[in-house]
Structure 1
Amino acid sequence: MTQITALILRAISAGYQYGFDIMEACQLPSGTVYPALRRLEKAGYLASSWESTAAAQAAARPRRKIYELTTDGTTALHAAERRLAEARRLLRDLPPAPTGEA
């Protein structure tokens, strides 16, 4: 899983539900976020639905697609977070390079 994919999944798990909100939270352009959302949904990591017409009309805007993590998406995110934590630990605990003559 790429860092961008993990970041998008993390944003959705934190409550960002709409494409534009995910873009802002991740500080990524639409050309990165929307294709990733489609791939993640196709892979079974996300489910989506459209908000109600009434909600969109009340806010005077087009309907928005709502994204949520599936069980597989949550599992994948947790695995990515564990890998990141392990990488951080390895970086933190990396011993100094040996000095001397080679």
Structure 2
Amino acid sequence: MDATGLPDGTVYPILRRLERRGVLEGRWEAEATAKREQRPQRRYYALTEVGEASLAEVVERFPTLSRLFAGDPGEAGDPGLA
């Protein structure tokens, strides 16, 4: 997977596990869209209410870490210089 640098065999099992636990909800895009664009169907994921609550808890417990993952490392400071 380009975005994470992790192989597909790592990312997709994690997504399926999160889906089974009720944290994520996955849905396939319309088959017609994939056919029109001549590619396989994509699966889209969204947080469920349980996932939203879990995310809020993590953000509250680990504010610096959550800012880093949110793409705003400037507010968190440079951890390499701490």
Same fold (TM over 0.5): yes
Residue 58 of structure 2 aligns with an amino acid whose one-letter code is A
Q: 1:45 aligns with which of 10, 13, 23?
A: 23
Identity across the alignment (%)? 44
- What's the TM-score once normalised by structure 2's chain length? 0.68
1:35 aligns to 2:21 (yes or no)? no
Query: What secondary structure, in the 3-state scheme, does the structure 2 residue paired with 1:27 have?
Result: coil
> Cα gap change, 1:53/1:86 in structure 2, threshold over 3 Å: closer, same or farther?
closer
Give 1:24 deviation, angstroms.
2.8
> Cα gap change, 1:59/1:79 in structure 2, threshold over 3 Å: closer, same or farther?
same
1:79 aligns with 57
Q: Aligned pair count?
A: 67
> Cα gap change, 1:52/1:83 in structure 2, threshold over 3 Å: closer, same or farther?
same
Alignment RMSD? 2.2
- Tell me which of the two structures has the higher relative contact order, counting C-alpha pairs closer than 8 angstroms and 6 or more residues apart: 1
- What's the TM-score once normalised by structure 1's chain length? 0.56
Unaligned 5+ runs, structure 1: 1-22, 93-102
Stretches (4+) displaced over 3 A: none
Larger Rg: 1
Whole-Å separation in 1 of the counterparts to 2:20 and 2:10? 16
Unaligned 5+ runs, structure 2: 66-76, 78-82
